[in-house]
Every structure is written in C-alpha cells, then in structure tokens.
Amino acid sequence: MPKKYIDLETLKYLLYDIHKIEDVLKRERFQEHDLESLNMFIDSVKEFSDRELYPYFKEMDETPAYHKDGTVIVHKQVKTVMQKSGEMGIISASFDYKDGGLQIPFSVVQAAFYIMDAANNNLPGYPGLTSGSAELIIEFGTKELNQTFVPNMLSGTWGGTMCLTEPQAGSSLSDIVTKATPTEDGFYKISGQKIFISGGDHQFAENIVHLVLARIEGAPKGTKGISLFVVPKNRPTSDGTLEYNDVMTVADFQKMGQRGYCTTHLGFGDSDDCRGWLVGEEHKGLKQMFLMMNGARIGVGRGAAAIAMAAYRASLQYANERPQGRKLTSTGKKDPSEKQSLIIEHPDVRRMLLLQKSIVEGSLSLVILASKYHDISTTSTSKEEKEKYNLLLEMILPIVKTYPSEAGAEAVDNGLQVLGGYGFCTDFSLQQYYRDIRIFALYEGTTGIQSQDLLGRKVPMQNGKALELLAAEIMQTIMKASKDDVLKEYAAILGDKLKLSQKVLGHLMPFAMKGNYERYLADANLFMEYLSIVVLGWLWLEMAVDAKVALSKSDKKYSEIFYESKIHTMKFYFKYEVPKTNSLAASLMSDEVVTIKKDKEYII
Amino acid sequence: MPKKYIDLETLKYLLYDIHKIEDVLKRERFQEHDLESLNMFIDSVKEFSDRELYPYFKEMDETPAYHKDGTVIVHKQVKTVMQKSGEMGIISASFDYKDGGLQIPFSVVQAAFYIMDAANNNLPGYPGLTSGSAELIIEFGTKELNQTFVPNMLSGTWGGTMCLTEPQAGSSLSDIVTKATPTEDGFYKISGQKIFISGGDHQFAENIVHLVLARIEGAPKGTKGISLFVVPKNRPTSDGTLEYNDVMTVADFQKMGQRGYCTTHLGFGDSDDCRGWLVGEEHKGLKQMFLMMNGARIGVGRGAAAIAMAAYRASLQYANERPQGRKLTSTGKKDPSEKQSLIIEHPDVRRMLLLQKSIVEGSLSLVILASKYHDISTTSTSKEEKEKYNLLLEMILPIVKTYPSEAGAEAVDNGLQVLGGYGFCTDFSLQQYYRDIRIFALYEGTTGIQSQDLLGRKVPMQNGKALELLAAEIMQTIMKASKDDVLKEYAAILGDKLKLSQKVLGHLMPFAMKGNYERYLADANLFMEYLSIVVLGWLWLEMAVDAKVALSKSDKKYSEIFYESKIHTMKFYFKYEVPKTNSLAASLMSDEVVTIKKDKEYII
C-alpha cells in the first residue's frame, strides 16, 4: 500500500494559514481551545486512522458488507471505529458541552473526518451519520428523546441513520408516502419502506436510531406535509431493556464501490408495531432535516475530496518510483542506450499529477472554507455577520458538494491513468478509489439536483445578494493579487471570468422572469461547472498570494518548495482549467435549445 | 437486463447509408458478396450474440477468471464462443479464401465484432486475438508455420495471443529483454516474462499460440532489434501429438472490469525448454506487429464504442420507464398534485442521454470510417488511392483508438448518472459498463501514447500530407452542408474550428523545428481532444446532411424520427461539445509552461 494517504502539511496549511481558523477560535464558544489543542485532536485522529482505518481499506472492499438473517454483516473494524469514535469524542466533537460534546469548531471536525475518509472511506460514515442524527435529536427533539437516545449514540454504542429515500420517490421527496399514524400514547405508528439507507443495520450495533421522514395522516401534499421521527430499530422500555420495534432490514444494496459501507433497504411496521417519536414540529420535517443536510453536503464534498487526495498520493508515489520510457532528444527520437526516466519526468504524467493536485488541494480548501462559514454563521453574535456568512455558505454549498465529487472523480481517473495497466488491477488501490468516489455525485442530491439548487435557488436568493457577497469575497483576492507583479496577470483573468459569469446570468435571467423556468434551468449543470471553476480559481489565487508573501519572508513556516508548488499549481489551474469557462459560457449563451422536450421525441 | 444492448438500425445506417460499404463491395476481392449476404452475416452474429453472449454478461463479471494450478479458469461460454466463432467463420471472416477465410470486408467484420462487444465484452477478445495472431502468421510466417498453427486457430480449437509487454518495460517496447537464442534445429530458445497477456491461457484451449516479441542474442538495442516469434504453449510433435513447450502461466491479473476476460502473466523457458519459431525477418518484429496493431487499435476503439452503446441503451430504457419528479411550472415550483414525469422528460436527463447518443453513434461512425479506409487501402489496385487511404487511416487511427475510449467512458458515466443511486448498484448493468470501459484508454497504447503518436508522428507525416487529406475530406462535407439553409450555420462553425486547428499547429510547430520536441508534445493530449472533436463534428454533420436529403424524399428507408434524431443530435454536439475546442485552443496556445520538468520539483 502507498505510504501516504494524505498530505497533512497541506491540510494544516489550508486550515491555519489560508483559512485562518484561529480567527474562529476567538469566539466565545471555542474559548477553551487553542491551536495546540486542536492540532492534538487532528494528530490523534491521524494516528487513529493510520492504525485502525487505513490498514483495512483493501480488505473491506474485498469482503463487502452483506445481508444475512435479517441483519447486515459488516467488517469487524466497524465495531472498533464506532467504539473509538465514541471514546475519542469524534462523534460528538462539535456538540455543546452540555450535550456531551467538545465544542470543537466544525471546520476542525471536518478536517478530522477528512483524514478518516482518506484513510478508508468505508468507515467514517458510521460515526458520521450517527453524529448527524444525534444532532437532529438534540436540535429539535424533546429533552426526553435526547436523554433516551443521544448518550448511547455519542458513545458509539448505538448507530444512527437518516431515512429519506423511498423506492417510488427517489430524489423527489414530495412523493414520500411513509405513514405516521398518531396514537394516544405519545408515539406514532410508522409504516413504509426506505431505501439506500447508509449504515442502516449491522451485527455490532446494539441499536440503530433512524431519523425518518414520514407523512402524518391527513398532512398536506408535497414537501410541506413531511414530518421527522425518531424510529429506533429497538425501542427502550421502561425497565431499561430493548424491545424490537418492527424495523426490518429487508435487503441490502451491493455496490460498485464503498463496499464495506453498508447500504440497506428498511421496512417499517410490517407487523403494525413500529413506533416513532415526532422530532420538532409537525410538517416541518424536511426543513429540519435540511439544516442537517447542509452539514451532510459538506460531508459529501469532504469525502470525495479525501478520496481524491488518497488517490493522488498513491499515483504520485508510483510516478516517483516507476522507471519507464525516456526523454525525447532534440531529434524527436529516444536514445535506447540512455537510462530509463522515472515516469514523473514525462510532461504528460506531470500534467495528470498537477491536474490531480489542483483539484485535490483546491477541493480541500473549498471544504474548509464552507466549514469556516458554517462556524462563523453559527457562532456569530452579530445578526449582520450571521446573515452574511449564512448566505455565503448557502451560496457555495451546492458547489462544495458537487465540485469535489465530479472533479474529484476526474482526478482519480487521471491517477489511475498514471499507473497504466496496473491502475486497472486490484493489486493497486487506484481502481478502488475510482469505484468508491463515483457515488459522491449521487449522494445527498445528485449533481443535477445540486445544479438546480445553485442556479434555481441560490443565485436568485434575496435578489442575488448571496452571489454578490461571494463576488465581493473573490474581488478581495483579486485586489490583493493585482498588487503582485507575477500574480496580477492571473488576477485579471479571474476578474474577466467573474464578469463573464454576470453576462451569462444576464442571458439566462430573462427566461426566469418570463416564467420559463425549464429553459432557465436546462443548462444548470454547465453553470455549476462554470461557477465552480471561478471559485476554485479564486481559492488557488488566494493560496498563491499567501505563498508569495511567505516566500518573501526570511522566516518560513513551510519549505520554499512547498510554497512554490502552490504558485505553480495555481498557474497550472489557470492554464488548463480556467479556459474551460469560455466554452461553458458559449454553450450557456447559445440560442440552440435541444434538451427541452418538444412534441417530437428525438432521443431514440 | 435491459432489452436492447444495441441499436442495430443505426449500425446498418452508418455502414450502408453513411459510409456506403457497397462501394467497397465493387472491388474484386469482395465480388462474391453483396449487401444481402453481408446483412445475413451481421444478423447471424446478432442472433448468436443474443443467445450466447448477452445472457452471460453479468455472470461473467460475478465469477471472474482466476488462476489455479498453473492455468486460468474461465467461464464456460469462452468454450462455446470460441467454438462457434470458428464454426461461423467469425475468426477468419476477413481472411483470404486460400487461408480458410471468407473475404468479408474488414468493416463488416468490425460491425460483427461490435455487436459481440456490446453484448458481452468479456468474450470477443478470445476469438479476436486468435484472429489477429493467426493473421500475423499468415502474413509473415512460413508456409509450414501456417499449416502447423493456423487451421486449429481458425476453427477456434487453439487460442492466440499477442505478447508485447514486459514488467520492466511497460509501454516502452525498446526495453524488451525476452531472449531468443538460435539453435541448429531451426527454432529459437525463448526465455523471458510477459505480462498483461489477454486470453493468455484457459482450461478450454487445447493449445494457445503466442506471438511473442523477443530479442535475438546480439540484436541492436532499442526497437530495431526486436523479432517476432510463434511460441505455442504446447508444441506439435512429428507424430501429431502436443508436447508441453515450457510456457508457464505464472499468475493472472485481477481487474476492476472485464473480469471474465483473463489477463495473464506468462513465463517462457523457465526450464530452458521453450521453443519459438521466427515469424518474418529478424529484427523486423515490431514493424510486423504494428501492421496488426492498426487492426488491434481499431478493435479497441470499437470495443469501447460498443460498451458505450450498450450503456446508452440501458440508461435510455431506464429513463423511459422511471417516473420521478415533475415539470417546473411557470412559478418555478412543482405541483405535487400533478402526476410524476418520466425522467426522460427532464432537460438535464435529456442532456445526459443526448451526450451519450452523440458520443456513442459518433464513435461508431468513426470506427466504421477507419475500417472502410482499411478496406480501400488494402484492396485498391491504384497506388495513389492505396496511399491516400493508407494515409487517411494512419491519420485517424490514434483518434479511433482514443476518442471512443475516453469519450465513451464519459458517456457511460452519464448513463450511470441517469439511473441515480441505482446506477451504482450491482443489480444494474451501468456500473459494470463503467468498470469495463475504463481499460480501453489503457489498452494497446494509452491515451498519452496515442496523443504523442497523433501529434508527433501523424501530423508531421509526409510534410503534413495525411492531415491535409483529412482536412480535404472534412471540407467536402462542409461544402455539402453549406448548401443547406439549416446546416450552413454548422458548416461555418466546423470550418472555423478546422482553421483554428491550423493556428494551433502554427503555434506548436516552431518548437519541433527548433528541436524542442518535449515542448512540442507536452500538450499532445489536448491536441488529441481538439482534433477528435473536429472529426466527430464532421461525422455528425455528414449524418445531418444525409438525413436532410432523406427527409426531403417521399420514399424513406428509415422513419422520419430516425432521421430527425440524427439532425437533432448533431445540433446537440455543436452546442455542447464543439465549443470545447475554444478552451482547448487557448490552453494549447498559452505560453505558460508548467508540465515540463525544470530544476525544481513542483509536484509534491
């Protein structure tokens, strides 16, 4: 196995130097932490990942989770990781002290999970979803619900899940039909089917606590009639024992990747004895769930970014060790009597490595940025600041979920290609990363859905205020870079692309104004790609600005080559990726309409 | 399983109407064939594929070939398909009558293999490689070698392979070290290791005939010292029995995809008793092998195109059956009381389907075009014509190998996305196509190597004559399209892109002239992408021209909607794919150099 699955130095550089998490630490909520204690937390998670996650990466792929006798059999590390995640406070790290948490900034918790994702993406979902569902109970549930369920979840004894998808509805949550019938005993009777439930059941969990979206009888149609329930697999009784709650593990889904992370099909109330407890208000379930979905979507981007990181490290190591071929001489031929080159010396291999580096580190920067926005908006005492960072977060969220998933898959694809035929063989990890990362463009709202969200909801939000705020942030970096002799060229390019995005929106907006939303949103995916490149170009330029400053100082925190590699990768991004905005803009502003269904069917 | 794995109508349309294979039939070699007999051949292969290949597609993935007791255990259909391919004349279809062949045009044989590839890409490689290696023996071997080996290969009793790659050399064939020591008995003693040998051994083959590249003792260094040998696993003795020839199946490679198509590691001469017979001239092995590699590279493009076709059909069927979500109303919201839409009605899903259709049918057109060039150049009696079509073939060959492999993988990726979460599950075929197609960008020279070939060898060939010929072919279509009121707009765009390609080359050529080949070729991959889009744009425009003519006639061979879908898909290609040439040109003409190794290492 490759020696390094992560570049910890870059992670810390992005966290501390670029996104300056210490600013966040000044807030009251985090006053008991300092950089040193956070660093210790991160290092302990790294050490834990080295020991308990990474060594089982291949094994968990080769012995996938499977359904047997009404439960799912998972790898033994699921037990270890759940237990340790409880002990180490990973599950509850960002929670309030009063709820058993450590009040660690969300961004630092994301960094910790990123390390675990990179080490073995089959595992972090188990504690991660447990954390997310516990958070829902804490945030919206009654004190009683909290006391009944949360402590066992935070200790890693009980698992937690989110149950949204149903067979007939898929991504269309307005079509959810799982039924909740009120009883006079304070609980609801739940009946229905949920599919694609990650971590939905396994032999090591004493209990699994499902957070289920369902419709109370008589509720309004559509998404406004959906409520949220806690539905445990086993319900605690008054004497402290557990009693089966009629939640059946009907089947599991065998997948192309993430084979050690189980995906289940659950049946609720087949014997009419499944009890659920309402969380928060009636009919507000989706809204509540979506508060958590923001975190979940950052988590998806984070996972994809981490897999792409691990794949990059593996292909970089290979390129540095594998001799093959020779440098071209000035006659355009190769001299067979010369020594073979390492493949990292071939320009095309370098291109594939730099493409990976630009996507991988750019994605990580994006994930940390979003997490920082989250930290600021949730801890701010100023209403204005809260709103600003909330809008910024809302704005970039679909990109945070999508860019690492889509570009990350491309990065891994290039990593695989670096290994040649070996990349396709199961003896090497690249093919596993290639399979694993493919689910991220599907998880928690596909790329299509995220793109509709970006262009359909986030751009028009508050009359474009969120986008304006984002543009202002980007402009700040452009201004800084404009003052540097080398960087001003790139600053100008980025400024142009930002302007061009306005032109693209100027072309599209009239369709929305005229009520032709289908046309407005038809190419939302392309707009997603466009804006993602601008945002990534911004994040790279920001890194280059910082690196330039650092290089001019005699006292450097990191090596010269570390900083120079950041500037170099920024240049790569501007040469190879940023120009793609041209063709995207051309397609977006084309008057040709070919994807909207007309009377005739052209797709045969 | 999806009902249709191929659109046979489009295959025949491309073969007969667009590429007019009947023109080829006029040649003397094919005089005993007519369209009807060729159609019967194609239909019989389709029927055979329906019955013997497609039903085992999933099963062969789930029970991969594996190494055991010195051989490889493969699925039982390998036996059936080899046997039937012999009986039906598929292995020898394009060969001379005198060599036991049917003298069927190469293009029609490719169409037949395309159907088999689409049905189950684990299987056609076995007869395909057997055919390729038999062809080498026929073309360059002695009469005795031919009589000893070829009949059993053409009947499907013995398999055949090509053994190029060695562990220490990879794609760099000049580093081959497998040794051939002459003996006084007319044979050579062979010793060495070969890896990634497809179809290298299995329990059903009475014998496997390996075509091995090796170096005769004292041969010049590099590719000019490589010779070609027939090295059977078992050597025929004078009494007609077989005797073990010291060819050991050391191991196999377990792969992410094409798991039913075995890939082996062979050891030759471990006990110093491995005999090989020289094929053709000493030291000319690579040149001879490459005559066959042209066919093999068309075959790789064909296989990828076929997998993308099958994936497209599967995702199209799903999109036509799966209800989910609703059309946006004029308020930009959805009305949950409305009936659910089929997902094919959503613009974004249509975009993904049309992208697939444009890549899939465009790739198929490209494969048939190359095969037709091959047919003309090999059967022409005019030296000039022969040279012209040979140059055209050489020119597009790297594109034929690469575009279907790279864009095909993107098409399958979109097909998977159409299915949402189900696309990632093993119950659906998309994930298998996704895994299978990934090897095609690695087979028979990676995309990087093909791109170097395109820009480094094919473009400068005969002072740019091959490229000129290609441009002239493209111009003919542009001229035709310019006369049509609707198509002239697209003709103009394609003309511009063709001109822009000259500008790009004008920017790059001086580097080659000055002997800076590393710089000249550094972005060869981008040039490959550029020229591929131009070629595909051309092929789509040609289809649109034909469809427009057909639509104006009262007597139509295919339905109106069939022709209209071709024009529609051309428009799609010009809206979404052709603009990518802009950004590629910008990157290609950028003065920023970031992928050529300098004194400092920026990739860390």
Q: What is the mean pLDDT of residues B497-516?
A: 97
**pLDDT at residue B150 is higher than 90:** yes
List CB contacts of B431: < 8 A, sequence separation 6 or more: A255, A256, A438, B416, B423, B424, B425
> With contact defined as beta carbons under 8 Å apart, do A115 and A106 qualify?
no
Question: Taking CA atoms, what residue in B is nearest to A431?
Answer: B256
**pLDDT at residue B29 is higher than 90:** yes
> With contact defined as beta carbons under 8 Å apart, do A415 and A311 qualify?
yes
pLDDT at B45: 98
Q: Do B425 and A223 touch (CB under 8 A)?
A: no
Residue pointed to by tokens 């969200």 = A453
User: Encoding tokens for residue A70?
Assistant: 């009404």
Residue pointed to by tokens 């400053």 = A549
What's the half-sphere exposure (Cβ side, CA atoms, 13 Å) at A270?
11
Q: Which long-range contacts (CB under 8 A, 24 or more apart) does A55-60 make?
A: A55/A1, A56/A120, A56/A122, A56/A123, A56/A260, A57/A1, A57/A119, A57/A120, A57/A122, A57/A429, A57/A432, A58/A1, A58/A429, A58/A432, A60/A120, A60/A122, A60/A123, A60/A259, A60/A260
H and E: helices and strands count for chain A: 19, 12
pLDDT at A172: 83
Q: How far is A20 from chain B (nearest CA, A)?
A: 23
Chain A partners within 8 Å of B331 (Cβ): 515, 517
Q: Do A565 and B431 touch (CB under 8 A)?
A: no
Q: What is the mean pLDDT of residues A414-440?
A: 98
* pLDDT band, very low/low/confident/very high, at B174 (cuts 50, 70, 90): confident
pLDDT at B268: 98
What's the half-sphere exposure (Cβ side, CA atoms, 13 Å) at B319?
28
* pLDDT band, very low/low/confident/very high, at A69 (cuts 50, 70, 90): very high
Query: What pLDDT, in 10s, does the model give residues B550-579?
Result: 999 999 999 999 999 999 999 999 999 999
B374 vs B171, higher pLDDT: B374
pLDDT at B381: 94
pLDDT at A282: 96
Interface predicted TM-score of the whole assembly (ipTM), two decimals = 0.97
> With contact defined as beta carbons under 8 Å apart, do B399 and B366 qualify?
yes
**pLDDT at residue A294 is higher than 90:** no
**pLDDT at residue A336 is higher than 90:** no
**pLDDT at residue B601 is higher than 90:** no
Q: What is the mean pLDDT of residues B13-21?
A: 97
pLDDT at A277: 98
pLDDT at B147: 96
Which residue, among B177, B283, B351, would best test binding to A if mutated, counting the most A CBs under 10 Å from its CB? B351
Q: Determine the Cα–Cα distance for residues B582 and B534; give it in Å rounded to an integer.
A: 11
pLDDT at B169: 82
Give the total residue count for chain B.
604
Chain A partners within 8 Å of B168 (Cβ): 323
Tell me how many residue pairs between chain A and chain B have CB atoms under 8 A apart: 296
Q: What is the mean pLDDT of residues B212-236?
A: 95
pLDDT at A44: 98
pLDDT at A329: 74
Helix, strand, or coil (residue A226) = strand
**pLDDT at residue B340 is higher than 90:** no
Dihedrals φ, ψ of B207, to 5°?
-160, 155
pLDDT at B173: 85
pLDDT at B154: 98
Q: Do A561 and B174 touch (CB under 8 A)?
A: no
Q: Determine the Cα–Cα distance for residues A61 and A433; give it in Å rounded to an integer.
A: 10
Q: Determine the Cα–Cα distance for residues A430 and A84; give it in Å rounded to an integer.
A: 28
Q: How far is B3 from chain A (nearest CA, A)?
A: 14
Q: Do B316 and A603 touch (CB under 8 A)?
A: yes
- The least confident of A145-159, A326-340, B362-376, B386-400 is A326-340
Query: What pLDDT, in 10s, does the model give residues B214-224?
Result: 999 999 998 99
Chain A partners within 8 Å of B414 (Cβ): none
pLDDT at A332: 74
Q: Which residues pair with A275 in a beta bridge?
A: A189
Share of chain A above pLDDT 70, in %: 100
Q: Determine the Cα–Cα distance for residues A519 and A510; give it in Å rounded to an integer.
A: 10
**pLDDT at residue B5 is higher than 80:** yes
Query: What pLDDT, in 10s, does the model give residues B446-481?
Result: 999 999 999 999 999 999 999 999 999 999 999 999
Q: Which residues pair with A248 in a beta bridge?
A: A267
* pLDDT band, very low/low/confident/very high, at A326 (cuts 50, 70, 90): confident
* pLDDT band, very low/low/confident/very high, at B396 (cuts 50, 70, 90): very high
Question: Taking CA atoms, what residue in A is nearest to B257?
Answer: A424
Query: What pLDDT, in 10s, does the model give residues A527-570?
Result: 999 999 999 999 999 999 999 999 999 999 999 999 999 999 99
Question: Taking CA atoms, what residue in A is nearest to B6?
Answer: A604
pLDDT at A593: 96
Q: Determine the Cα–Cα distance for residues B570 and B596; give it in Å rounded to an integer.
A: 38
B498 vs A238, higher pLDDT: B498
Query: B375, B351, B364: which is closest to B571 by C-alpha?
Result: B351
Question: Taking CA atoms, what residue in B is nearest to A170?
Answer: B324
pLDDT at B57: 98
pLDDT at B326: 82
**pLDDT at residue A170 is higher than 80:** no
Q: Do A575 and B594 touch (CB under 8 A)?
A: yes
Chain A partners within 8 Å of B517 (Cβ): 328-332
**pLDDT at residue A171 is higher than 90:** no
For A582, the closest of B325, B351, B583 (CB atoms) is: B583
Q: What is the mean pLDDT of residues A429-449?
A: 97
Q: How far is A169 from chain B (nearest CA, A)?
A: 6
Q: How far is B463 from chain A (nearest CA, A)?
A: 15
Q: What is the mean pLDDT of residues A49-66?
A: 98
Q: What is the mean pLDDT of chain A?
A: 96
Q: How far is A103 from chain B (nearest CA, A)?
A: 34
Which residue, among B4, B452, B595, B596, would best test binding to A if mutated, counting the most A CBs under 10 Å from its CB? B595
pLDDT at A449: 96
pLDDT at A81: 98
**Per-residue DSSP letters for B244-297?**
E-SEEEEEE--BSS-TTS-EEEEEE-TTS--EEEEESSTTBHHHHHHHHHHHHH
* pLDDT band, very low/low/confident/very high, at B31 (cuts 50, 70, 90): very high
**pLDDT at residue A67 is higher than 80:** yes
Chain B partners within 8 Å of A551 (Cβ): none
**pLDDT at residue B599 is higher than 80:** no
Q: What is the mean pLDDT of residues A309-333?
A: 89
Query: A512, A370, A525: which is closest to A453 by C-alpha?
Result: A525
Which residue, among B13, B67, B256, B334, would best test binding to A if mutated, counting the most A CBs under 10 Å from its CB? B256
**pLDDT at residue B291 is higher than 90:** no
Buried b vs exposed e over B363-389: b needs ≥16 C-beta within 10 Å? bbbbbbbbbbbbbbbbbbeeeeeeebb
Cα–Cα distances (Å) from A141 to A135, A146, A149, A158, A281, in that order, read 9, 6, 10, 17, 9
Share of chain B above pLDDT 70, in %: 100
For B565, the closest of A175, A571, A602 (CB atoms) is: A602
Query: B197, B249, B218, B89: which is closest to B153 by C-alpha?
Result: B89
Residue pointed to by tokens 């979003």 = A370
The radius of gyration computed from the CA coordinates of chain A, to the nearest angstrom, equals: 25
pLDDT at B333: 77
Q: Do B594 and A579 touch (CB under 8 A)?
A: no
**pLDDT at residue B522 is higher than 90:** yes
Query: What pLDDT, in 10s, does the model give residues B115-126?
Result: 999 999 999 999
pLDDT at B331: 75
**pLDDT at residue A21 is higher than 80:** yes
**pLDDT at residue B514 is higher than 80:** yes
Q: Determine the Cα–Cα distance for residues A373 and A394; give it in Å rounded to an integer.
A: 9
Q: How far is A237 from chain B (nearest CA, A)?
A: 36
For B340, the closest of A175, A580, A587 (CB atoms) is: A175
Chain B partners within 8 Å of A356 (Cβ): none
Regarding pTM above 0.95, the answer is yes
Q: Determine the Cα–Cα distance for residues A148 and A96; give it in Å rounded to an integer.
A: 17
Chain B partners within 8 Å of A574 (Cβ): 592
Query: A1, A8, A9: which is closest to A561 by C-alpha?
Result: A9
Residue pointed to by tokens 């998880």 = A443
Q: Do B517 and A330 touch (CB under 8 A)?
A: yes
**pLDDT at residue B171 is higher than 90:** no
Share of chain A above pLDDT 90, in %: 92
Q: Do B332 and A456 touch (CB under 8 A)?
A: yes
**pLDDT at residue A267 is higher than 90:** yes
Query: What pLDDT, in 10s, does the model give residues B295-334?
Result: 999 999 999 999 999 999 999 999 999 998 888 777 777 7
The helix (H) or strand (E) run that includes residue A381 is none
